[in-house]
Amino acid sequence: MEITFAEALNQAMSEEMERDEKVFLMGEDVALSEISPATAGLSESFGTERVRNTPISELGFTGAAVGAAMAGYRPILDMRRIDFMMLSIDQIANQAAKLRYMLGGQVSIPLVIRAPEGGGVQNGPTHSQCLESWFLQVPGLRVVVPSGPKDAKGLLKTSIRDDNPVLFVEYRQLYSNKEDVQEGDYTIPFSSASTKKEGKDVTLIGLGSQVGNCMSAAVELEKIGISAEVMDPRTISPLDVDGLSASVVKTGNCVIVEEGHKHGGVGAEILSSIQSKCFSSLKAPIERVAALDVPIPVQTKLEKIVLPNSEKIIAAAKTVLNYS
């Protein structure tokens, strides 16, 4: 059945709330369908005890979610935007991610934080950031980044069932994207990179919203005789280093693409992780494509200059293939 990314998230939460009465949803305006399409209809189906609107206090409701998880519940926390997580960073990095270790495994923190992010929607510097790289420095926290409806549903169900805190990153540009998604229960394991397209000349590793741009770039590269393989990590903590490395060993060339800023980005960690396994197979240095290191502008033309796109990916692929 063909559904949107937002509908896939809705299905996953609905099915998990039906399966386990300990699963509940909380966040700003989550019970208002017109504001939050991913949660549309859930309050009508499960009631306001399990679909809870919260005050506009990220620090407060994140702490409440951590406490609920410690008490045996499985909260899904809708953060509205990843930018707002800096207001609750202590609860996430110092409490949710560490309490299981600090208390000798006496408690689990089965908390999912849904974190919409990204540009392309003219929301400006403080509402368009891609901050998942911040959370790679937090042991105990899983970081999941789906790129399409099918993966969104399977990975969200896996995240809800996991006994560790999970940051579930959702690129807002993807919410209306459609894909055939199998009905019923299925999960996708963490640390299982997906091959979106096979190729032999260069590997394009795209994160989240950039998988689509990599696919578009691959189509254009085919027209000039370049066969590109497109890989989607799906989770970046844990990262499927072996799966990504196998593709790079096969092609000998690699371009890593992310929407986040280049300096200190996820792409740097992926590059470092796979290079030690692929170094002897590389025909050229690995290239990276990312947002420029400036705040994300509101103006459409400026935003296009700052953010990655298929043209920039094609140029990077040509750079590695022309290296000599």
Read off the CATH number of the domain in which 302 is found.
3.40.50.920
> CB neighbours of 134 closer than 8 A, spacing ≥ 6?
none
Count of structural domains within the chain: 2
Highest mean pLDDT among 26-30, 43-47, 215-219, 301-305: 215-219
Do residues 65 and 151 share a domain? yes
Do residues 16 and 158 share a domain? yes
Do residues 171 and 25 share a domain? yes
Lowest mean pLDDT among 37-41, 226-230, 318-322: 37-41
Say whether the peptide bond before residue 238 is cis (omega within 30 degrees of 0). Answer: yes
pLDDT tens digit sequence for 233-283: 999 999 999 999 999 999 999 999 999 999 999 999 999 999 999 999 999
Q: Which positions are annotated as active-site residues? A: 58, 127
pLDDT tens digit sequence for 190-246: 999 999 999 999 999 999 999 999 999 999 999 999 999 999 999 999 999 999 999
Identify any residues that bridge with 246 across adjacent strands, giving them in sequence order: none
Q: Has residue 185 been placed in a domain?
A: no
**Domain containing residue 151:** 2-180
- Confidence tier at 324 by pLDDT (50, 70, 90): low
pLDDT tens digit sequence for 89-125: 999 999 999 999 999 999 999 999 999 999 988 888 8
pLDDT tens digit sequence for 141-155: 999 999 999 999 999
What value does the mean pLDDT of the chain take?
Answer: 95
Q: Has residue 154 been placed in a domain?
A: yes
Last residue in a domain, options 180, 209, 237:
180
Q: Has residue 142 been placed in a domain?
A: yes
Q: Has residue 186 been placed in a domain?
A: no
Distances (CA, A) of 296 to 114, 145, 171, 218: 21, 20, 15, 26
pLDDT tens digit sequence for 146-186: 999 999 999 999 999 999 999 999 999 999 999 999 888 99
**Contact of 78 with 53, CB cutoff 8 Å:** no
Tell me the whole-structure pTM to 2 decimals: 0.96
Neighbour-count burial of 84, counting CB atoms closer than 10 A to its CB (0-12 exposed, 13-18 middle, 19+ buried): middle
